[in-house]
Copies of this chain bind each other. A is one copy, B any other.
Amino acid sequence: MTGQERQRRLHRIRDRVRRRGRRWTVAKAALVEELLGASGHLSARELHEAMTAQHPQMDHSTVYRALHILAEDGIVHSLGGPGHTLFGLADEPHHHVVCGVCGSVAEIPAGDLGDLVAAAESRTGYSFSAQSLTLAGRCVACAG
């Protein structure tokens, strides 16, 4: 991802946040930037640690609250099991595969599983937004 693309994504996200009537704060900006750079999913703890590099005074509660707001607005999603919730950006459509043992996450581009999603929706009445489908299984390392 080029620096330009990254700027574009960042601005698009910022505008979405503002359009929702939220404020574009230091915490949100820093979290989104961190997630843009990470190209993966991070835990609240990892994010907080990353924050303290640039913003040593930022509290973990701030991280949690900002993440909660971003999740409510569909900017990020949270996934994973008890004690190891992970957060990732939601602006590029994809699905998740979560290892129930170690919590690692892989991504599947949206579209690849279209049939699956449709089948699951029609059978259960549950709705899966394009970005929010999450499968739980075991990764290669934990499959033993």
Contacts and interface: CB of A to CB of B under 8 A. Distances in A.
Given A115-B115, A138-B126, A139-B126, A132 B81 contact: no
A104 to B, nearest CB: 9
Interface residues of A, number: 36
Contacts of A140: 125-127
Nearest to A140: B125
A79 B122 CA distance: 22
A124 interface: yes
A135 to B, nearest CB: 5
A40 B75 CA distance: 32
Nearest to A82: B82
A95 to B, nearest CB: 8
